[in-house]
Amino acid sequence: MRPHDDAPPVGRRAAALPALALALCALLAACSSAPTNHGKVEGEGFQAGELVQSDGNRMATLAMKENLESLVRIMDKLYRRNPGEWKKTASSREAAVAYVRIAILERQPWQELQGERDVAALSLALQPGFAGDRVAAFVYAAADTIITAHGNRTSFTLVDGLDPQHIFNAARNLEIANWILNSRKSVAGQPLLLSNGLAEQERNLSFEREMGKIIGRLDLLASYTTECYRRSFIGYGQGLLAGPFMQFLPVR
């Protein structure tokens, strides 16, 4: 027997080549049709106010902006799942979102919270017997808690200082508020608000993810601020110790 007697006929191998090429083309087409555009990081344009901001100031300002935007997204999600709430504030969901956003950014009191601010307002918004727009009250109180923890500011410059413990406490307060919202019942025995969807047919945890982003940013900023203060003291000490050894020597 010749060495190649058991090899498939040349015609059969030639016929298999088009099928293989077709399969490869189909595979490449499937890969190329997969979604690949997931967005990109985009910085803001230069503003004159940045000249009086340190890196830490800029980080705190951006974190505040993102946290407030996250709360607006949470508000929209809660209004969609609880349409009866926005009807207590405005004639449309979009108008209710706009009203609450303005009240937050302009630091206007929310009437249904009876003059309470930060954690006191948060506690009132989560009471079982609260009869007002609970979505608006909850989001407004959460935003007010965050802003208060940042020294009642939403933008920061070189003359502004942050208390990392207050920011850390704000993160814990939001964790507590999130737990209460998901566990406490109204006077009618219903959830305070429908937030996460955990049905067998549909699992929607977008509310939980957005709240987690806020808490994560607050924790990171608290740690970063603490580290900045710690390193400033270390840098000052290093300057004192190394000063006598870093003098230039005469060359003439």
In a domain, 17, yes or no: no
Answer yes or no: pTM beyond 0.85: no
Number of folded domains that form the chain: 1
Per residue in 186-224, pLDDT (tens digit) is 888 899 998 875 555 555 677 889 999 999 999 999 999
**Domain of 95, in residue numbers:** 51-234
* Alpha carbon 109 to its chain's center: 24
Query: Is residue 178 one of the residues assigned to a domain?
Result: yes
Does a structural domain hold residue 43?
no
∠ CA 248-250-252, nearest 5°, is: 150
Torsion of Cα atoms, 125 then 131 then 132 then 133, to 10°:
70
**Structural domain contains residue 240:** no
In a domain, 33, yes or no: no
Q: Considering the domain boundaries, does residue 124 fall inside one?
A: yes
Lowest mean pLDDT among 109-113, 137-141, 175-179, 227-231: 227-231
Question: Would you state the pLDDT for residue 50?
Answer: 63
Question: Amino acid identity, residue 177?
Answer: A
Per-residue pLDDT tens over the stretch 60-103 = 999 999 999 999 999 999 999 999 999 999 999 999 999 999 99
Pairwise CA distance, residues 172 & 144, whole Å: 14
Answer whether 72's CB lies under 8 Å from 101's CB.
yes
Domain-embedded: residue 210 = yes
- In a domain, residue 192? The reply is yes
